[in-house]
Amino acid sequence: MSTLDAVRASFLEAKVTLDAFLADPQNMVAVARFAELCRGALEQGNKLMACGNGGSMCDAMHFAEEWTGRFRGNRKALPAVAFSDPSQLTCIANDFGYDEVFARSVEAYGAAGDVLVVLSTSGNSPNVIKAVERARQLGVTTVGLLGKGGGKLMPLVDLAIVVPHAETSDRIQEVHIKALHIAIEAVERALYPGNYAAAR
């Protein structure tokens, strides 16, 4: 296969994955519900938190910076944090084990009314599972962006968004970042409609 053919095949595979996600109306309902949970937390003065491993950590960080920075237009900074500080993660891993790296951060920063967004392409990451369990103890609402059928996390989170069809992390993460961006846009459109006055 030529490089050009490989590139084309990858784009088509990504399109098939997205089409499979769009084909289930419940996925649209779930992303809308995700946006509503984020909006509700922010309107009540609560915060958004996010975590994941590897590329999913990068997506968690991306999610957080869109709230504290700028998404489409200027507005006040909104409280969101990704659990990604290397000193905290390595300290917790060294002292308590890697499975506790996110749960300890949830314990430190989470409060009833907050929303924790967890990302796991397998749905089975032990440290993410522990974070969700700790969040439930604190009254933190949990949203899981998952893949491969949802894994062990699907019945544990309050809201699951599961990417169908895809079997590789990259294809799953490509849909995750779309869901994150679209939920952020929906909240911003509701809270800051002026940022979209000139849009379609």
CB 142 within 8 A of CB 157: yes
How far is the C-alpha of 165 from the C-alpha of 185, rounded, in Å?
25
Q: What is the mean pLDDT of residues 85-110?
A: 98
pLDDT of 36 strictly over 90: yes
pLDDT of 46 strictly over 90: yes
Q: What is the mean pLDDT of residues 57-78?
A: 97
Handedness of CA 39, 41, 46, 47 (dihedral sign): negative
Structure tokens at 10: 């990858």
Confidence of residue 200 (pLDDT cuts 50, 70, 90): low
DSSP assignment string, 39-55: HHHHHTT--EEEEESTH
Q: Which CATH architecture has domain 3-193?
A: 3-Layer(aba) Sandwich (3.40)
* DSSP code, position 69: S
Q: What is the mean pLDDT of residues 42-70?
A: 98
pLDDT of 194 strictly over 70: yes
Confidence of residue 197 (pLDDT cuts 50, 70, 90): confident
Conformation bin of residue 148: beta by default, left when phi > 0, alpha when psi is -120 to 50 = left
pLDDT of 199 strictly over 70: no
